[in-house]
A and B are shown apart, each in its own frame.
Chain A
Amino acid sequence: MSILNGLEVGQVVAERAFPITRDSLVRYAGASGDFNPIHYRDDVAAAVGLPGVLAHGMLTMGFAVQPVVDWLGSDGWVSDYQVRFTRPVVVDAQAGAVVTVTATVGAIDEAGARIDLSAVFDDQTVLGKAQVRVTPLA
C-alpha cells in the first residue's frame, strides 16, 4: 500500500523545524560551491546593505523539501520542485535562525500529487509558490 493512496487535499503530511546556524551556512557553501561571502561574513553583508548574514536561498530550498522526502520513503520520488525566494533568512551569529516547514497536499491526480510547502522564519513566509510534484516509484 503506497503512502500516496488515500490522500486528501489540505491534509498536512509533514512538518519540521530546522534550526540553522552559521555552521550550516559554511557547510552548505562547501557542499554547493556557493562561496558568496554574504552567507558567512557580517562585514560584507553590512557593506552591501543587508540586515545580516543570510542563508543561501538554495539551502532553504534544499532542506524545505526534506520532510516530503522523508514522508515518501521509497513509495515515491520528487519529480518536480519549484520555489520563489520571497524573503531572506537572516542567521544570527549566536542565536542562528529557525525555519519551520509545513507540507500540505495541494492537488491529487493520476500521476501522483502536488505537495505545497510553507516555510516560515520570524513569523513570515520565506518561500512563495513552493510546490513539490511527487510521483509513485514503480
Chain B
Amino acid sequence: MTVNPDLVERAFPPVAPYLVGREKVREFARAVFATAPLHHDPEAARAAGFADVVAPPTFPIVIAEATLQQLLAEPDAGIDFSRVVHGDQRFTYSRPVVAGDELTATLRVTSIKSLGGNSMVTSESSMVDARGEHVVTSVSTLVIRGEDA
C-alpha cells in the first residue's frame, strides 16, 4: 500500500468547532505535569492578562487529532493506521489558547515523501477562533512504515 500523492492538493472541510473548556485544560495540564498556576487558576491567568486558564503548549494536539482522523479516513489515502508512527510535531502560535476559545481546525496535507521504504506525510491543522482569527497551527509528520520495515 502506498500513500496517495493526490492528498497534497485536496481540500478538506473544517472540522466541527472545538470549545476549549476550563476543566479540560486542567485535566490536560495534570496529564503533562503542567503545574503552573496559569493552567489551573483563573485568577492567576487573569492577573497575567488572560481571560481564563491558559492551555499548555501541546494542548492543540487534542483538536488536531480530529483532522488527522479525517486524513486517515480518506478512502483512497493509502495510509495503514497500524503502521503509522509520529515522526515530528510542531505548534506555531499567534496567541496562547485559553479556556472559552472556540477553535475551528482545517486540515491541509503539505507534503508526501518516500524515504527508505517508508512514507512521510506532513500535514498541518490550522486553527482559528470564533472571529476567524488565527490562533495556532499544528504541523505533524506521520511516518508510515513500509511492509518490510
Cα(A54)–Cα(B35), bound, Å: 23
Q: Is B93 a contact of A80 with CB atoms below 8 Å?
A: yes
Q: Is A80 a contact of B91 with CB atoms below 8 Å?
A: yes
Q: Which residues of B contact A121 (CB under 8 A)?
A: none
Cα(A66)–Cα(B49), bound, Å: 20
Q: Is A59 a contact of B49 with CB atoms below 8 Å?
A: no
Interface size of B in residues (CB-CB distance below 8 Å): 33
- Say yes or no for A11: interface residue by CB 8 A criterion: no
Q: Is A57 a contact of B86 with CB atoms below 8 Å?
A: yes
* Cβ 8 A contact of B27, one of A31, A34, A138: A31
Q: Which of A9-23 contact B (CB under 8 A)?
A: 18
Q: Which of B42-80 contact A (CB under 8 A)?
A: 47-49, 54, 56-58, 61-62, 65
* Cβ 8 A contact of B61, one of A18, A32, A65, A84: A32
Secondary structure call for the B interface: mixed
Cα(A28)–Cα(B61), bound, Å: 12
- Name the residue on B nearest A69 (C-beta): B36
Q: Which residues of B contact A83 (CB under 8 A)?
A: 88-90
Q: Is A59 a contact of B57 with CB atoms below 8 Å?
A: no
Cα(A66)–Cα(B33), bound, Å: 7
A residues adjacent to B (C-beta < 8 A):
18, 24, 27-28, 30-34, 48, 57-59, 61-63, 65-66, 69-70, 73-74, 77-85, 129, 132, 137-138
